[in-house]
Amino acid sequence: MVAMPLFGLKKGGKTMRKYLYSENGFVEKTEWKPNCWVNVECPDDSDFQFLTQELKVPESFLEDIADTDERPRIEYEGNWLLTILRIPLQNQDHDIPFNTVPIGIITNNEIIVSVCYHKTDLIPDFIRYTQRKELQIKNKYELILRLIHSSAVWFLKYLKQINYAVTEAEKALEKSIRNEDLLALMKLEKSMVFFNTSIRGNEVMLAKLQNIFQEPQYIDKDLVEDVEIELKQAHNTVNIYSDILTGTMDAFASIISNNLNIVMKVLAVITIVMSIPTIVFSAYGMNLSAAGMPFSRTPWGFLIVIILSVVASIIAAIFLSRKKFF
């Protein structure tokens, strides 16, 4: 076994692994010591070897976190505890503008590791928040709770962006119903589904955490209450916005269907009106004796037939108009 150096490895000029110490907010240092928070983002092979060989983190935990579809849950292996959360992610170059990804918090008596295989804004923002508020995180349970709280805050932030995007799409659709705007609403609706399932999963997982950490040193009722309130607010908000979006989609679907019916009615009326001169002209075009055809021997017969056909079409159009066919 090759020993790995206990300092942040770099890839592409960016530190992929950080050692964070709670000193009136999290402060990054260059080496690992027990009870520091090791945050690993987009781990490479070197990070994987460090976690499994130096810290003895179970490989199965890392494999579970790597699964993009992994749901929020808790798992034990020996004295190790794996807590998986779903956190929001904004996709810049993706069909779905907002999605959720798993982040795993792996802990034992003296090791705290967070691993996420996606680059997110949540962790850097959380670190800046602890520095700005000069927070001192006393234990692993408090760190997990505050990360859940931060995830709820980011869910609410992205939900506001989704609501703004829905409003802009509605304004565009009021002017002209285009496929692009409808597809944009459908993608936002998918994002809402991902948010809803992830928030509910985090709520269930929070309840399980409270049953695990019942020792006096872990109990912080105020913090737990804040997390519950923030999650509930995020849950209620996503339900409200989802109902609004669903109602909007249904309304525009009804508008499209109604517009299609109007077009079909207009085409049907045009067909009926135009069929009258067509029938008349077809009758005069048959290979029959001209003696039996009206106005066949009149010098103005052709003009009379055209005028009568036009008048009949106008009468039919007026009749259909009064019957509100168009």
pLDDT in tens, 104-131: 999 998 899 999 999 999 999 999 999 9
pLDDT digits (tens, 9 = 90+) for 225-260: 999 999 999 999 999 999 988 888 888 778 778 878
Q: Label the pairing between strands 37-41 and 112-116.
A: parallel
Residue 7 has pLDDT above 60, yes or no: no
Contact 249, 210 (CB under 8 A): no
Name the domain count of the chain: 2
pLDDT (0 to 100) of residue 280: 77
Task: Please report whether residue 231 resides in a domain.
Answer: yes
**Rounded average pLDDT over 35-55:** 92
Calculate the average pLDDT of the chain. Answer: 85
Q: Which pTM value belongs to this model? A: 0.79
| Judgement on whether residues 171 and 300 belong to the same structural domain of the protein | no
Rounded to an integer, the average pLDDT of 277-305 is 70
- Flag whether 5 is in a domain: no
Residue 305 domain-assigned? Answer: yes
Give me the pLDDT at residue 266, please: 81
What was the pLDDT predicted at 325? 66
Average pLDDT over residues 11-18: 59
pLDDT interval class at 1 (50, 70, 90)? very low
Q: Do 40 and 122 reside in the same domain of the chain? A: yes
pLDDT value, residue 287: 60
Question: pLDDT band at residue 80, thresholds of 50, 70 and 90?
Answer: very high
Please check whether residues 194 and 137 belong to one and the same domain. Answer: yes
- Domain closes at, from 257, 277, 309: 257
pLDDT of residue 250: 84
- In 3D space, the residue among 116, 15, 26, 1 whose CA is nearest the CA of residue 66 turns out to be 116
Q: Is the pLDDT of residue 92 over 70?
A: yes
- Tell me which amino acid residue 305 is: V
pLDDT band of residue 2 (cuts 50, 70, 90) is very low
Question: Does residue 305 carry a pLDDT above 80?
Answer: no
Proportion of the chain above pLDDT 70, given as a percent = 89
Decide if pLDDT at 5 tops 50.
no
Do 124 and 130 contact (CB within 8 A), yes or no?
Answer: no
Phi, then psi, of 135 in degrees rounded to 5: -80, 140
Q: Does 127 fall in a domain?
A: yes
The predicted-structure confidence for 135-153, as pLDDT tens digits, reads as follows: 989 899 999 999 999 999 9
Residues 29 and 165 in one domain: yes
278-299 burial: b if 16+ Cβ within 10 Å, else e: eebeeebeeeeeeeeeeeeeee
74: pLDDT strictly greater than 90: yes
Residues 159 and 291 in one domain: no
Residue 318 CB contacts under 8 Å (≥ 6 apart), including other chains: none
Average pLDDT over residues 53-66: 94
Q: Does 305 lie in the same domain as 242?
A: no
- Confidence check: pLDDT of 43 > 70: yes
Q: Is the pLDDT of residue 9 over 50?
A: no
Indicate whether 44 and 159 sit together in one domain. yes
Which pLDDT value is given to residue 12? 40
Write out the residue range of the structural domain in which residue 297 sits: 287-322
Burial of 223 per CB tally in 10 Å (0-12, 13-18, 19+): middle
Q: What count of Cα atoms within 13 Å lies in the side-chain half-sphere of residue 9?
A: 16
303 & 211 share domain: no
User: In this structure, what CATH number is given to the domain that contains residue 208?
Assistant: 3.30.460.20
Q: What percent of the chain has pLDDT over 90?
A: 50
